[in-house]
Structure 1
Amino acid sequence: MTYYVTNKKSKLRDRRIYYMSMADYLKAHPVVAHLNTLHNSIEGNLLHSEPQTSEAQIHFLQYALSLAKPKKILETGTNKGFFSFLLSHLIKDVDLYTFDIDPRSKACVDYLNKCQSNVRIHLQLGDTRQTLLRFHQQGIGFAWIDGGHQWDTAYSDIMHAIRLGVPYIAIDDVAFPGAPDLPHVVAAILAAHPRYVQAANPFAANDLRGAVLLERKD
């Protein structure tokens, strides 16, 4: 995915066109800069990944959304809202139900809801092992699981996505050394729920963090 940026200060005949990746475009965006002032934790995949990983994950997400065609999306791990902002560049007229334990996420979500209209973001604060128990929204078409990476939280988050009947479930950081439980969680989920299979990721070779897509076979 390439963005084309022109030098608007120059005369039309002298305008130069600059080519930048979607990841670079987002990193340079003033919305991202403002989100960083609202929430100072490190958000890994956009600002702190290798360039090829950031771009591969964006392509992966675009690919997964093209399969799912969701109108409602579940996310665990809101953090400072970078997934929400990226989503607003890839899809329109969707509701995102996002969950995080950190109260700083609220200011980020409030800001994003004011500065864009493609994604309506609904934040639930608290531990997902409790908050998802009370979540019964029907019609979720896609889930992005990127919250707690320990076994109990990750397993619980994915199981709730399955309980909700989500047909496409993406799990981030399955190849990340800092999340050693995740490959075993994914394997356990697939063994216990044979209706779900691991779908192909055409961009896996460049994704060092290892996003995985589970697809429900009806």
Structure 2
Amino acid sequence: MSASMETDMTPMLSVLSVDDHPIYSQGLALALNAMKDSLVRSQHGPLRFEYADSLQAASARLQRQPGFNLLLLDMVLPDGNGHELLAHLQRHQPDLPVVILSANDSPSDVTMAISAGANGFISKSAPLAEVDQALCDVLSNKIVTPSNYSRATGVEATVQLDEAIPSLTPRQIEVLGLLARGLPNKRIASILQCQEDTVKSHLKALFSKLEAHNRTECVRRGFQLGLLGHNDS
């Protein structure tokens, strides 16, 4: 098989960028595709970008082409707020990773986006290498927040919740922080110097206390409740 045929058969990472500023979204696509030693390309394949400049256009594109691997979403669009699309995706395409790309990365905006279902939040002012790393992390099932999103500011900006913050033990909080880094049970056990069965017991307790059904939902609840900040991701 020739090299060109192998290239043609390489799986593409299909990305939908929803942004009403084509200079930014198309510039990011060009930069990522031209970036030497790109982590997201090397680990997840060549990038194919498509574009939508409004919520309506994005919804129509997602209906026609449900096979996107990643959605990049600006929160401020001509016909509404990105939270509307996030809510729709949580109901209809919950497995599609969504990364918010925003000029405003205040802690309250980050907390609201992650709580609403976003898998990551990246400032538009972030360096290309940071964006590349963040996209790679999201595609590896991690939740990503900006570097200025700290535990303290996150707690202060946490969305008002009806339920009380559950009581976690110090070790459960440690496990939650390692879970937010996308680490497997074996690696968590190694870091904490305990048995894998012990880690599984902590995870079972975390899932119960945070009312989560899987690892990603558990981490999302941690962010939502202000239990996690950027130092944990």
Higher share of residues assigned strand: 1
Same fold by TM-score, threshold 0.5 exceeded?
no
Higher share of residues assigned helix: 2
Normalised TM-score (structure 1): 0.37
